[in-house]
Chains A and B, each alone.
Chain A
């Protein structure tokens, strides 16, 4: 009996999808492109699974609202259950994806700062591709090769796109972590909205720093990998 086109796993309705491309864009970082079956909003996430026996994981969509495909950007975790399988997918392979959903949505009416580390840049790429603008985009990474989509961001945001590099191969615009960059700013706009995406420690450190600089916590929108 053929597998159904959709099934429920955990709380998610998952739909059979097809891989369009799967590229290792940096060491152990993959950009997986697949069919667009539903419309999305920038900032949405999707639940992804490779089979029906494991619970899906959630990834930020990394493509624009008008793009004819969906993408996710993921880290290969050698000891993980899902990402080693995802990394092996080839064009034409099947896997499972939920409808896009979520609430990490840009507020176009308010000036925004976008702050990301590593693959946490994904939702901001979706926002940029969907026509949203950031007053400032900070992307933190140890390695120069992890500034994904830098050419497009540079073109879109010019000097307001800042690569904060904490490693030493020296291609960043600022040498140090995003938290250091923020600490060194004399003033941070208090009426802006700050969108944070990345690992828990970065998000809580940046959030604490922003709060200590007078930004109301209601103006801070956080998305954490877990």
Chain B
């Protein structure tokens, strides 16, 4: 038994009151209403011959109340509910499994369309509860250090499937922050990601502050530009090394979208609207933790008001990469801070249930 398995406690338990199988949980016979924007619902109700204001009533039921069926939308006429129910269902999907880490982090397993699965992490920290959502089933990016990439790409999530990961966990109602750092590359599914952030931040939706939502990307430049134009949410960019060849070896995306281009694009935008910008940096021992890397990061980020998050590497099977030691990690952080770049070390959470950064995977489940 590995050290990680040994330290895990009470790692598998059914979510209370949830007895569904994946098939029951993901019905999929009718189209889901959950995950539709106000504009989409307006078009939908007009098509059904219902009054336009019905759309706003539906968004209230979907995103401000806790109903479980269209029948419970009691301020809609009976005829409206019947018309809706012919083609649509609410579309909420319960998780089929939850694991809890010794540090309180929880990892939820959700079924998605076509018998696929995704994982969602909920990380409690003092008064905060951060949900780390997935944006794709698997991932196309193939980063050398990431477990999700090892299952390849199995499909896109809809906006509804993304928001459902917040709506259907036990902590719904007390979630304070959302990060798009689960399975998948959000900028490779930008339409649905933007729809999901619209639902989370719009007045007719969950009305969350966009400052409490962070979308993390490895930097697909056309999507980055669109995100910065169309969203006010915070942005995190995965850097992991400032050097071109080294980044190519860690992250094949560097071939198509070099980091310098990503940074140039960011530099051309105004970040004064309180939107937070951070750079994610997994620290690998003997690879990207040298003073040369500090120097190059300083050059790369010169003039950009940002924050670097250093992340401990969580080894995955067969990896040729090593975590750095704690002493060097602290020194690396101090060197960056001394050069004027605000740098912190992100606490590793949920490692014993494979919920920590880079460890999410449903590969085994996709194959069954």
Contact = CB atoms under 8 A, between A and B. Distances in A.
A199 B153 contact: yes
A157 interface: no
Contacts of A212: 318
A89 to B, nearest CB: 21
B208 interface: no
A166 B220 CA distance: 32
A56 B187 CA distance: 14
Interface of A: 9-12, 45, 55-56, 58, 102-104, 199-205, 207-208, 211-212, 216-218, 220-226
A218 B252 contact: no
B306 interface: no
A223 B150 contact: no
Interface stretch (B15-23, B58-66, B138-146): B138-146
Contact of B222 (A10, A220, A221): A10
A103 B245 CA distance: 9
B257 to A, nearest CB: 8
B57 interface: no
B222 A12 contact: yes
Question: Which 3 A-B residue pairings sit nearest by Cβ, starting from the closest?
Answer: A201-B152, A10-B222, A11-B221
Contacts of B249: 217-218, 220-221
A45 B142 contact: no
B255 A104 contact: yes
Contacts of B257: 11
> In terms of DSSP, what is the predominant structure of the interface of chain A?
mixed
Contacts of B252: 203, 222-224
Contacts of A58: 256
Nearest to B316: A208
B153 A11 contact: no
A218 B139 CA distance: 22
Contacts of B142: 200, 203-204, 207, 222, 224
Contacts of B225: 10-11
B320 interface: yes
B102 interface: no
B252 to A, nearest CB: 4
B332 to A, nearest CB: 21
Contacts of B256: 45, 58, 102, 226
A218 B264 CA distance: 27
B265 interface: yes
Nearest to A211: B320
A211 B318 CA distance: 8
A216 B320 contact: yes
Interface string B223-249: 101100000000000000000100011
Interface string B185-217: 100100000000000000000000000000000
B221 A217 contact: no
Nearest to B363: A201
A102 B255 contact: yes
Contacts of B139: 200
Contacts of A225: 140
B322 interface: no
Of A218, A221, A224, most buried by chain B (CB within 10 Å of CB) is: A224
A199 B188 CA distance: 15
Given A11-B221, A11-B222, A217-B144, A200 B248 contact: no
B153 A201 contact: yes
A200 B144 contact: no
Nearest to A57: B222
Contact of B140 (A10, A56, A226): A226
B357 to A, nearest CB: 18
B111 interface: no
A177 B222 CA distance: 34
A72 to B, nearest CB: 14
